[in-house]
Each structure stands twice: as C-alpha cells, then as structure tokens.
Amino acid sequence: MSHKAGFVNIIGNPNVGKSTLMNAMVGEKLSIITSKAQTTRHRIFGIVNDEDYQIVFSDTPGIIKPAYDLQTSMMDFVKSAFSDADILIYMVEIGEKELKDEEFFNKIIHAKIPVLLLLNKIDKSNQEMLEEQVQTWQAKVPNAEIFPISALENFNVKEALNRIVELLPVSPPYYPKDALTDKPERFFVNETIREKILLNYDKEIPYAVEVETEEFFEEEKIIRIRSVIMVERDTQKGIIIGHKGAALKKVGMQARADLELFFDKQIHIEIFVKVNKDWRSNAFQLRRFGYNQK
C-alpha cells in the first residue's frame, strides 16, 4: 500500500475548539486552551504518524477583524493555511451562524480541496437543535462533509480522523516519523507561560503580553529555564508581578507543573518581567517574536 501524507489545516472563529481538536487528534497538548478569544497567536503544527500515513495538522488563530499589527500578522497565518492545505477543516460550534470574515468564507465554499465541516460542542445541544444546525450548514457550505463532534468529550473525533486518512493524497512523509511538531522546545515554554497569564489575569493584560525564553538548558534529570514576560507599560509590569511577587510566583508554579508533564523531567524555571513598549505595533519586535514573516 502506498504511503499517504498531507497538511490538514483547521480554521474557524475564536473559541470554537480548534486547539482542543488538534490536541485530541495528536494526543498531546500542543496548543494552549483557555476560554478567552485570541488564545492561539501562531500557526502550530501537530503531526500524527502511522506506518502508512502522516497527517500534519495545523492549528490557526481564530478569525477576527484585525485592530492592530499583531492581529494582522495572526490573520496572515490563517491566509497561509489556505495556500498549502490538502484537506481543510472548517470548525464551527453549535449555535454559530457565520464566519466573521466574508473573504475567508468565500475561500471555504469555493475550495478545490476536500472540506470537512466539524460541528463542535454538540454535548451542549439536543437532537432537534443538532439536526437544524446540520441542515443550516449543509445549505451554507454545500461542498463540505459535516461531522457533528465534541472535541472536549472526544466524541466522533476518531470517525473524523478516519475520514481524513481516507482523503490524504499519496505522498512520502514531510517530517521524520518520530516528529510531533515543527516548533522548538522554547516555543512550548513560552506558550505554557502565556496560557497561565491568560488564565490568571483579566482585561487587556493577557493581550499585551509576549513571552521569550532566553535560556533552555537540558541536563540528564532537569531542564533549567529562564524566561521573560514582555509587557507594554510599567503599570502592566506591576500587575503581572503582583503584591510581593505573589502573582508572578503563581504563574511560575503553574507553568512548571505543566512543563514537567510535557517534558517528563524536573523543571527549574525563573521568570522575569520587562517593559517592551508598544511591541504589538512594532514591526521589528513582531518579527523577533515570530510574527510578520512576510
């Protein structure tokens, strides 16, 4: 039997469960997950390997109307997901009516590649609502195969995965067969810390933050990490640190616990906070943090 391989790119509105789906498909937590919009900023590959196939899943930021340079760069990641996909996953949730960007929606309904529309969070609906939603999306996206799923409960995810395998083109693998992702270790350190900031702080703070890991030294039994949280203003720095450093200490403890599970090793982590004024609108800083790749 010929080997199959392909890029399966996941797009949709914010908070519909794209990251939960990819983590469920891959079997590892590669994308951070919170209830806040714009949790995913980058395009993240998660690779599923079998003897006869390789699936390169791509999680992308939720589709929004950009308000500043960082968000424009995030939408560029979504645009790139259309250009190299072998299979497109359009993810919606129960009760959703439309994609927030007409240009992207037109690309989906005129796609020349297989489109799977995954109707997520069906655990929050009843049979009548589900049937109505399926009919609605069949009319809106007639070129798509529809799979009602619950990514969180892992319901019908295996069936969608089996269909993806059937649709994969014949191809040699794109990555080594033991690869899990295209991102380096430091990226997952940064994302884990950023997830804890999203969970522990309100309002604008999480969106004004970027994380950079300056040191990552792996020894036989321990990984030593030094990371910096970048904020845009001094007032934000004070909020991140908290009274007597308590808020920052909490972030560090939560991040360390997750990273020890991810790397299966003891973690020693030091986290500092620096002001990097208006980095979200600075082209040089955005490139430094992996955005604005054009």
- Residue ranges of the annotated binding site for GTP are 12-19, 59-63, 120-123
Q: What are phi and psi of 90, to 5 degrees?
A: -100, 115
> What span, in angstroms and rounded, lies between the C-alpha atoms of 40 and 33?
8
* DSSP structure string for 260-292: HHHHTSEEEEEEEEEE-TTGGG-HHHHHHTT--
Contacts of 195 (CB under 8 A, 6+ apart): 32, 33, 34, 39, 258
Nearest to 10 by CA among 101, 20, 76: 20
Judged by DSSP in three states, 222 sits in strand
Using left for φ > 0, alpha for ψ between -120 and 50, and beta otherwise, residue 256 falls in alpha
> What span, in angstroms and rounded, lies between the C-alpha atoms of 86 and 63?
20
Instruction: Provide the annotated binding site.
Output: 12-19, 59-63, 120-123
> What span, in angstroms and rounded, lies between the C-alpha atoms of 38 and 67?
12
In the structure, how many helices (H) and strands (E) does the chain have?
Answer: 9, 9
Helices assigned H by DSSP within the chain: 18-26, 69-83, 102-109, 127-140, 157-167, 185-200, 234-241, 246-263, 283-288
> What span, in angstroms and rounded, lies between the C-alpha atoms of 239 and 201?
9
